[in-house]
Amino acid sequence: MQPSLSHLGIGSSAASLSNLRDSLLQPSLSHLGIGYSASILSNFGDSLMQPSLSHLRIGSSVASLSNLGDSLMQPCLSHLGIGYSAASLSNLGDSLLQPSLSHLGLGSSAASISNLGDSLLQPSISHLGIDSSIANLSKATKIA
C-alpha cells in the first residue's frame, strides 16, 4: 500500500506507507510544506502500535496510541506548537479504520479513513483551515 498526500495548501506534502500486513505498519511522512515532519509507527500487531511524531518545525509534537486491538485504537495527539490538536481513532479491526482529526489550532481540520482491509485504505483529508487539502491513496494492494 503506497499513499500520496499532496497539496495541503501550505506547501508540498509527501507520504508513503509501506510493509502493511496484519502485524506491521511503517509510515513515513515528510515535507508538509511548513517544515520538516518525521513519523514512525512501529510494533504494529493485533494489540500494539506505538507512534512517534517529531520535528514539525512549528513547535513540538507529542502523540500516543493505546489500546490497539482487533476492534479499538485510541490515539492522543497534542501540542503541535501552533495550537491545540485532538484526534480519535476508533473501530480498528481487520477491515475498518475510521479516524477523526480536528482543531489543529490554525483552523478546522477534518479527516476520514474508511474501508481499511487487507487490501484497501482510502483517506480523505480536507479543510486544514489554512487552505484546501487534497489527499490521494494509490496503489493500495494486499501485501501477503
Structural domain spans, the chain: 2-138
- The label of the residue with cell 478546522 reads 108
The pLDDT of residue 2 is 33
pTM as predicted: 0.11
| Largest Cα–Cα separation, the chain | 40
DSSP for 67-98, please give it: --SSS--EEEEE--SSS--EEEEE--SSS--E
Model confidence pLDDT, tens digit, residues 42-98: 323 322 333 333 333 222 223 333 323 322 233 333 333 322 223 333 323 322 333
| 3-state SS assignment for residue 124 | strand
Computed over every residue of the chain, the mean pLDDT equals 32
- The label of the residue with cell 485532538 reads 86
Q: How many CB atoms lie within 10 A of CB 138?
A: 8
